Amino acid sequence: MEETLNIRELNDLIASKAGFLSLIRSGMDRRIVGQKHLVDSLLIALLCNGHVLLEGVPGLAKTLAIKTLANLVSAKYSRVQFTPDLLPADVIGTLIYSVKKETFEVKKGPIFANFVLADEINRAPAKVQSALLEAMQERQVTIGDETFSLPEPFLVMATQNPIEQEGTYPLPEAQVDRFLLKVVIGYPTKEEEKIIIRQNIKGELDPVKPMIDPREILEVQKIVEKIYIDEKIENYIVDIVFATRQPAKFGLTDLQSIISFGASPRASISLAKAARAYAFLQGRGYVIPEDVRSVCHDVLRHRIGLTYEAEANNISTDEVITDILDKVVVP
């Protein structure tokens, strides 16, 4: 088989970074039982320079996962517990008057970290959410007259609790769209839960030693950007996204009354980026339709609006995405 040089080189390059992936995975496995999908989603977001919105009931190791990842990468980690009385300055920082120096000094907020856990993001009012999401998008923060770049790599993992909706401020569609992935975490299996008990009752957990330099992540991000996406895959992505906007054109007339608004062009971009990162996780230098399908639910879940009719019939966006994937022709 003759292969064009760049793909072969890329495959070799990816293979050389397999150690990086196995280090992260084994480190995560030591602390987190199960939740493979959560770990993979965090890695995809990290490789794509994106952010993750996590939805799951409390106690599913959401905080532990991002904390472990931060420890493994020897990166700065911070956690912000979102509450109704939180102010934007509590997240991004503010100017504080120094009596000694007789001037205003910048006090940077917890957002100045490589890995930020925005816990229960929907508990804070819109202006705080907006400040965080703007920083996520721009990757810089302006305090007073001075603009500060956020450290790299920069990953925000925001969590939402799906069962407590009272006293919350649901994220607007325009802001939720800025998360690369929305991951829904489920309960562990019986076997996994038994291991969790054993790990936690024996005392202190094994400490996680930093094994990866943040600069290495930036290198890998550059490799991921080089992963080849064929025009056929681009067409496939566009077809999927267009099927969320005009389902009838793809033979999905039933979905016409269920979808109130389809995915945005940002969804197409995110789908391509996430598929590329997934291909990297599989050790491939090119994207295949399997990669697109694998990340499709997480990428599109929070980008499709459903009508009241759909809600009345208990139809979820996941079901809609599955229907679309089953109808769009794979290249």
Partner 1 sequence: MSSLKYIFITILACLLSGVASASPVIKAKLDSATVVMGSITTLHLTVEQDPGVKGHFPLFKIAYEKGYAGLCGDSVELRAPMKIDTIKNNNSLTIKYDVPVQSFDSGFYKLPELEFVAGVDTFRSNNVVLKVLPVANVTAETPIADYANVADPENPSIFDSLPDWLINYWWIFVIVIGIVIASIWLWKRYRDTGRILPKKPEPTPYEVAIAGLRGLKEKKLWENGMEKEYFTELTDILRIYLYRRFGINAMEMTSRQILAALSSNKETKDKKPMIRQILDMADFVKFAKVRPLPADNIKSLENAMTFVEQTNPLPPEEKTGEDDAKNGNGASDKDAEAIQSAVKGNKAEKGGEK
Which stretches of the chain bind partner 1, using CB under 8 A?
1-4, 7, 228, 230, 232-233, 284-290, 293, 325-331
Give the type of residue at 276: R
Give min distance, CB of 43 to partner 1, in A: 20
Name every residue whose Cβ is closer than 8 Å to that of residue 310 and which is 6 or more positions away in sequence. Answer: 258, 259, 320
Which residues, in sequence order, are CB contacts of 12 under 8 Å at separation 6+?
none
Nearest residue (CB) to partner 1, 4 versus 314: 4
- Residue 294: CB minimum distance to partner 1, A: 9
Residue 153: asked if its preceding bond is cis (omega within 30°), the reply is: yes
Residue 150 or 241: the one with the smaller Cβ distance to partner 1 is 241
CB of 233 to partner 1, least distance (A): 6
Taking a C-beta distance cutoff of 8 angstroms, is the pair 39, 32 a contact? yes
d(CA 173, CA 235): 25
Looking at the Cβ atoms of 85 and 231, the one nearer to partner 1 is 231
DSSP secondary structure letter of residue 90: H
Residue 331, both tokens = 């290249």
Q: Which is nearer to partner 1, 148 or 228 (CB)?
A: 228
247 DSSP 8-state letter: G
Closest CB to partner 1 among residues 191, 230: 230
CB of 307 to partner 1, least distance (A): 25
Quote the least distance from Cβ 288 to partner 1, whole Å. Answer: 5
Q: CA dihedral in degrees (16, 281, 120, 89; nearest 10)?
A: 40
